[in-house]
Structures are given as C-alpha cells and as structure tokens.
C-alpha cells in the first residue's frame, strides 16, 4: 500500500532589520506543515564608532542563531543580490521594516509575490512612520495590514487587515511591537489560504490614502504656546523612543533643555502663563490656550530619567518656567 506523498512546504525568504520585527521572524520559524523559512535578508552590519567591530542587526542575529542563511546586501537592487535570490527560488517573500526599496526585478521573483506587514490600516498612514504619526494625530483606532508589495510605497492589494483600539496613554514603541506581533499571527493564519488561492485580496481605496513621513529631530521640540495639551501629549507618545520630545525651560539664571518622557492631559483649564509647578505627582504646564499638560517623567541634561517629583525636589530654585 503506497503512502500518500507529503506536500512540499512552501519556501519563504524573510526581510527585516530592527529588533521590533524579530518576533515576526520567530513566529514564522515555529514548525508547521505549510511553509518554512529558507533565508533571511537584513541590512548590513554597522561598524562601531570606536574600534573595528561590527554589530549585526537584531534580525540577522536571530537568523544566524537559528542556523539560517543570511544575506545583507548594501543595495537590494544590485544584480548579484537579485541573482542570489533567484537561486533560492522562494515561493513568497515576507517583509517587515526591512529598510530598503525593492526593485521590479526582485518583486518578479517570488512565485506568490512579496507580502509586507505594515502597522496601519492601509491606505491610511503609508510611509516610514505609520504608528508614530497615528499617535501624533491622536487616533482612537489603528491596526495592521498584510499587503502585497508593489513598486508604489505601501499601495499594494490588501490580503488581510486587523483593527486595534488605541489606548490614549500607549507610546509608539509599545504599540509598534504589539501591531507587528498581531500582524505576524495574522500572516501565519492566512498563509495556507493565500498559497491555495482562497484569500480574498482587494485593492486599496487609493483616494483615501494618507502619508506618514519620517520623523525628524527638528519636530521634537515641544511648543506650548502653539499647541494644546492634547497635541503635546500625543506628540510625546508618538515620538517616544526616537527622536523623543524636548522642552526648553528656564530657572531664574539659566535656560536648559529637558527630555519629556511621559505625560497626561489634565482636565483643568487655567489662564495662560509660563509657570511650571508641582501638583501631586506631576509638573503642571499651562499651554497657550489654557489647557494643562501634566509631565510625569522627564530627563535633565546629564541625568537619568526621573519622576517629576524627584526632578522638582532636586532643583535648588523652584521658579521654573517654559520658554
């Protein structure tokens, strides 16, 4: 009696770089009957400022620990890299925060195309900083999308999408991590149907598309005279991690800059003024419209991050104002 021939697993090449997407690779590496990761592509190792040591990307380090083939092209459009990928003959490529633009030659190689995990509800927030810009905008809902990759940025057909209710205190690194984990689970769930052609794939509503441009250090300075407490709170959340948010303060004889780490919006409304005072566990700052932002955690130059009360108690003079 002949045994039924086992179906050959589909071959996946994963492309990713930062630590935030290591869980995506780890989820794909869990043994299953449908597919296997045969190689990983990541950004090249970085050279230390001092010495000659190289630092692997978190994804490369994870892949090498798992015994996978790792490719780290300087340029993902280079002919030699495209030739290496062609030799691997993947059924599908999966990308998550890889960091390079893929060429038409690359996209033509995988038999089932390339799938990207993007942490937004596409077509909203296409671009480099979808979670950060969504938090800056104060959205109450976001999500994660698995979409086919096309030459236009984040504009490919949608394969799967999950919605997520946003807590108004969550910060970008935490939300980004959560969405990539949800995206990885959804990708694994739909892959069998995707390979068999049973997935409902649909075009994005391109007319609704919005952009999520890369963050800049210049945007990180908080301006209480120009923004409401809610707008400043949302920027602190969205810019957490990098580049962070800064506030210029003065204290009688000097001006100095602090890094603002954690805030909340007070229900109070006060007459506009520049004085900052300690109330309970927070430094209260009145914005130009009278709304009040409570600073809960901050970091002074050359100091560790500390709670607001500890910062206040360490000040020699309590005459603190925002500039």
pLDDT single digits (tens) 113-133: 999 999 999 999 999 999 999
Which parts of the chain are beta strand (E)?
A: 10-16, 35-41, 46-47, 54-55, 69-71, 92-96, 114-118, 141-148, 158-165, 245-251, 254-269, 275-279, 282-286, 291-299, 305-307, 320-322
Q: In the structure, what pLDDT confidence band is assigned to residue 3 with cuts at 50, 70 and 90? A: very low
Sign of the dihedral defined by the CA atoms of residues 306, 307, 308, 310, in that order: negative
Distance from C-alpha of 321 to C-alpha of 18, rounded to nearest angstrom: 38
Please report, for residues 65, 81, 82, 153, 281, the alpha-carbon distance to residue 74 in angstroms, rounded to integers and kept in the order given. Answer: 22, 9, 12, 20, 49
The per-residue pLDDT of the chain, averaged, comes to 95
The structure's pTM equals: 0.95
Backbone angles phi, psi at 172, to 5 degrees: -55, -50
Quickly state the pLDDT bin for 5 (edges 50, 70, 90): very low
Edge-to-edge order in the sheet of strand 158-165: 69-71, 35-41, 10-16, 92-96, 114-118, 141-148, 158-165
Which CATH topology does 10-208 take? Rossmann fold (3.40.50)
- CATH number listed for the domain at residues 217-322: 3.10.25.10
What percent of the chain is predicted at pLDDT more than 70?
97
pLDDT tens by residue, 147-200:
999 999 999 999 999 999 999 999 999 999 999 999 999 999 999 999 999 999
3-state DSSP assignment of residue 309: helix
Question: What sections of 29-169 are H helices per DSSP?
Answer: 58-65, 79-88, 104-107, 130-136
Specify which residues 279 forms β-bridges with: 282
For the chain, what's the residue count?
Answer: 323
**Above 70 in pLDDT, residue 296?**
yes
Segment 43-51 shows an average pLDDT of 82
Q: Is residue 210 scored above 50 in pLDDT?
A: yes
pLDDT band at 53 (very low <50, low <70, confident <90, very high): confident
Torsion angle defined by CA atoms of residues 197, 144, 185 and 196, in that order, rounded to the nearest 10 degrees: 0
Confidence of residue 142 (pLDDT cuts 50, 70, 90): very high
Q: Six-digit token pair at 155?
A: 């504009």
- Cβ-Cβ contacts under 8 Å for 4 (sequence gap 6 or more): none
Query: Does residue 52 surpass a pLDDT of 80?
Result: no
- pLDDT number for residue 253: 82
145 three-state secondary structure = strand
d(CA 25, CA 15): 9
Q: In terms of DSSP bridges, do strands 114-118 and 92-96 run parallel, antiparallel, or are they unpaired? A: parallel
Task: Render pLDDT for 212-265 as a digit per residue (tens, 0 to 9).
Answer: 999 999 999 999 999 999 999 999 999 999 999 999 999 988 999 999 999 999
Q: Map out the domains of the chain as residue ranges.
A: 10-208, 217-322
SS3 101: coil
The confidence score (pLDDT) of residue 252 equals 82
Closest CA to 14 of 86, 109, 122, 97: 97
Asked whether residue 51 carries a pLDDT value surpassing 70, the answer given is no
Q: Classify residue 172 as exposed, middle or buried by CB count within 10 Å of its CB (0-12, 13-18, 19+).
A: buried
């Amino acid at each position: 009696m002949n045994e039924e021939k086992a179906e050959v697993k589909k071959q996946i090449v994963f492309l990713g770089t930062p630590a935030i997407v290591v869980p995506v690779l780890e989820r794909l590496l869990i043994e299953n009957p449908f597919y296997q990761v045969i190689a990983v592509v990541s950004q090249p190792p970085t050279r230390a400022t001092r010495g000659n040591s190289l630092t692997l990307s978190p994804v490369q380090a994870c892949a090498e620990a798992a015994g996978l083939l790792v490719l780290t092209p300087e340029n993902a459009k280079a002919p030699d890299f495209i030739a290496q990928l062609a030799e691997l003959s993947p059924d599908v490529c999966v990308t998550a925060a890889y960091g390079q633009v893929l060429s038409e030659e690359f996209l033509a190689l995988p038999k089932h195309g390339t799938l990207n995990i993007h942490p937004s509800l596409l077509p909203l927030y296409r671009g480099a900083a979808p979670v950060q810009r969504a938090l800056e905008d104060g959205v109450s809902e976001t999500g994660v999308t698995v979409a086919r990759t096309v030459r236009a940025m984040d504009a490919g057909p949608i394969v799967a999408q999950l919605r997520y209710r946003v807590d108004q205190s969550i910060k970008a690194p935490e939300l980004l991590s959560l969405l990539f984990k949800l995206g990885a689970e959804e990708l694994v769930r739909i892959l069998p149907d995707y390979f068999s052609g049973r997935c409902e794939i649909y075009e994005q509503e391109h007319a609704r598309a919005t952009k999520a441009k890369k963050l800049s250090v210049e945007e990180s300075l908080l301006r209480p005279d120009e923004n409401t407490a809610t707008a400043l709170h949302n920027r602190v959340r969205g810019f957490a991690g990098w580049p962070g948010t800064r506030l210029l303060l003065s204290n009688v004889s000097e001006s100095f800059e602090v890094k603002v780490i954690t805030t909340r919006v007070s229900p109070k409304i006060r007459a506009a003024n520049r004085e900052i005072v300690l109330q309970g566990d927070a430094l209260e700052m009145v914005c130009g419209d009278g709304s009040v932002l409570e600073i809960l955690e901050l970091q002074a130059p050359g100091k560790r991050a500390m709670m607001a009360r500890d910062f206040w108690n360490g000040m020699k003079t309590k005459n603190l104002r925002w500039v």
